[in-house]
Amino acid sequence: MFHGGVVFNPNQRRSIGIGQTRHHPIRHIRALVLNSSYQPVKLISWQRAILLWFQGKVEVLEYHPSDQVTVRSAREEFQVPSVLRLKRFINHRRFTRVKFCRENVYRRDDYRCQYCGEEFNAKELTLDHVVPASKKGRKDWTNMVTACRKCNHRKANRTPLAAGMPLLSEPRVPNWLPPIQTSLKLESLPESWKVYLSGIMDEGFGTLPEDLEDLTG
Ligand SMILES: [Zn+2]
């Protein structure tokens, strides 16, 4: 709905040089999520912020300045939410439910190829279907493992047994993963966040989890 509809103010566009960098700055725009008690709980992408807003799960307390960024759908132009407050109180356990996604599979496996045991960074890793998709292997926690490109290529379209490549450990559904903490520096935060974060900023520094788990479910 919103993809491709992101509009920057022309003046701002010049000053931040969109089109000159490979990574579009809109990707880095985040929203701060507060619990219904106003306690800061996490940072989420602007896309998820808009989704939560449209689903009616949050009230928008602050917006990013419209002279910096707005989002346009087919018919309307919106300001991008900057601070959201959940309408329903969510306890800590809800935040630690682990979403099935690529990055979380890597994290469960400690960024280690489950065939050769070597550690890699995320860019060098792949997800491997233990039982290949062509043999009806499912895309879930118990059938997806972290594999380096070399092992994935070598295993190809075979089961570990057929390939003679036993797994280091049996893939399981994790019941907990530590959240990814993003460090915050008071001076580099959006102005609209500061008043809400004062409680967690110690001498100008603090951390908050960044969304990998899904709040919306
Ligand atoms: Zn490997």
DSSP states along the chain: --TT-EE--HHHHHHHTTTTSSS-GGGG-EEEEE-TTS-EEEEEEHHHHHHHHHTTSEEEEEE--TTT-EEE-SS-EEEPEEEEEESS---HHHHTPPP--HHHHHHHTTTB-TTT--B--GGGEEEEESS-GGGT--SSTTTEEEEEHHHHHHHTTS-HHHHT---SS-----S--PPPEEEEEGGGS-GGGHHHHGGG-BTTEEEEEBS-S-S--
Give me ligand 1 centre to Cα 22, in Å. 30
Give me ligand 1 centre to Cα 102, in Å. 17
pLDDT digits (tens, 9 = 90+) for 119-166: 999 999 999 999 999 999 999 999 999 999 999 999 999 999 999 999
Give the residues of the chain that fall short of pLDDT 70.
Answer: 1-27, 92-97, 211-217
Phi, psi of 84 (to 5 degrees): -120, 145
Give me ligand 1 centre to Cα 112, in Å. 8
Clarify whether residues 90 and 114 are in a common domain.
Answer: no
Q: What is the pLDDT of residue 127?
A: 97
pLDDT digits (tens, 9 = 90+) for 98-113: 788 899 999 999 999 9
* 16: containing domain: 6-96+179-209
Clarify whether residues 108 and 86 are in a common domain.
Answer: no
Q: What is the pLDDT of residue 172?
A: 94
Q: What is the pLDDT of residue 213?
A: 45
In the chain, the N- to C-terminal Cα span, in Å, equals 20
Give me ligand 1 centre to Cα 150, in Å. 6
Q: What is the pLDDT of residue 17?
A: 27
Phi, psi of 151 (to 5 degrees): -65, -40
Q: What is the pLDDT of residue 24?
A: 40
Q: What is the pLDDT of residue 60?
A: 97
Give me ligand 1 centre to Cα 156, in Å. 12
- Which tokens is 57 given? 């799960």
Give me ligand 1 centre to Cα 213, in Å. 27
Give me ligand 1 centre to Cα 101, in Å. 20
Q: What is the pLDDT of residue 92?
A: 64
Clarify whether residues 51 and 147 are in a common domain.
Answer: no
Clarify whether residues 54 and 89 are in a common domain.
Answer: yes
Residue 151 domain flag? yes
Give me ligand 1 centre to Cα 148, in Å. 4
Residue 66 domain flag? yes
- Overall number of domains in the chain: 2
Q: What is the pLDDT of residue 16?
A: 29
Q: What is the pLDDT of residue 94?
A: 58
Give me ligand 1 centre to Cα 114, in Å. 7
CATH number at residue 125: 1.10.30.50
Give me ligand 1 centre to Cα 113, in Å. 5
Q: Which residue has the tokens 């908050």?
A: 208
